[in-house]
Structure 1
Amino acid sequence: MVSAIELHGPPHVQRYLETDGEDGFHWQNGTEILILFTKGRKSGEERSHALIFREHNGAYLVVASKGGAEAPPAWFVNLSADPHVEVQIKGDRFPATARVATPDEKPEMWAKMVEVWPDYDEYTKRTDREIPVVVLERD
């Protein structure tokens, strides 16, 4: 069996959900992972994504980087259309509202995310797109 640390995408989400994060919460380079559930803006179907996160003042931060691609990740486009999402951290699944960090908030939040995944800074060099920090606030 492949280590959860090596998993990406749907296999990571599946293992995480099957084990309530026992496999998949701890990921590469000491990062921690949550599962973000969004609603497809066209299909209306639930979508799930394993994302690096950090807790910040009672909320959870994720970065919509897509590795520095010119287009944002689909999950970001979906939550932009409908900010009502669900989040699962280990076995705790809860409703949340997503918003983009304000220009005043972003520097501190970005620094916090780069602490755990320094590649975020590299991703900014690959695109002219502003890479947002998304704040997930528990409802």
Structure 2
Amino acid sequence: MIGERLVQRVSATRGFAKVAPHVIPALDRAVHRLSRGRVLLSAQMLPGVILTSTGARSGQPRRTPLACMPEGDGWLLVGSNFGRTGHPAWTYNLLRRPAAEISWKGRDVPVTARLLEGAERADAWRRLLEFWPPYAAYQERIDREIRIFRLTRT
């Protein structure tokens, strides 16, 4: 528990927000590729997926390692962008083209994404803060509302 709290405290800092978006996804992609989809480095602390979405402008496949919160038969994805000002690119992709695929525990799963809003978003946000408290620090630093998507199997 002490190690988890330390990681949460560090991940909520502005310094982490500056470095992590450049380092963590690259490491995740490399380890995921080398392990043939069986290991996601960041998933040692939080569950994670590799999201394959279609680029909103390019139409090309885009692979993004993301933390997730498994929930029932689906997953919640949080567009926190480590508390940086802009929405992450993958959220625009899902808004434009909600059909996607995730690599979950070494298996490719076709999914459909839906942006949560209103009371449904508020309920999910409460559960997400219990799951990973640093999301609160990310939201406090920015003016935009962090996007939350529910992924369901298709």
Distance 2:38 2:128 in 1: 20
Distance 1:115 1:35 in 2: 23
Number of residues of Structure 1 aligned to a counterpart in Structure 2? 132
Identity across the alignment (%) = 29
Q: CA deviation at 1:70?
A: 2.4
For structure 1, the residue ranges without an aligned partner over 5 or more in a row are 1-5
Residues 50-79 of structure 1: CA deviation (Å, up to 9, x unaligned)? 111111131100100112222100000111
**1:11 matched to which residue of 2?**
27
Distance 2:153 2:42 in 1: 19
2:92 aligned partner, one-letter code: V
Distance 2:40 2:71 in 1: 23
Distance 2:129 2:29 in 1: 23
Q: CA deviation at 1:82?
A: 0.6
Q: Where in structure 2 are the equivalents of 1:1-139 lying within 5 Å? A: 8-19=24-35, 20-24=37-41, 26-27=43-44, 30-139=45-154
CA contact (8 A) 1:31 1:116 kept: no
CA contact (8 A) 2:51 2:102 kept: yes
The answer to which of 9-18 and 94-103 deviates more is 9-18
CA contact (8 A) 1:16 1:25 kept: no
Q: 1:112 to 1:13 in 2, by over 3 A?
A: farther
Distance 2:61 2:34 in 1: 17
CA contact (8 A) 1:69 1:127 kept: yes
CA contact (8 A) 1:10 1:49 kept: no
Aligned residue for 1:11, secondary structure, equals helix
**1:3 matched to which residue of 2?**
none
Q: CA deviation at 1:36?
A: 0.6
2:151 aligned partner, one-letter code: L
TM-score normalised by structure 1 residue count: 0.84
Distance 2:138 2:76 in 1: 17
Q: CA RMSD in A?
A: 1.9
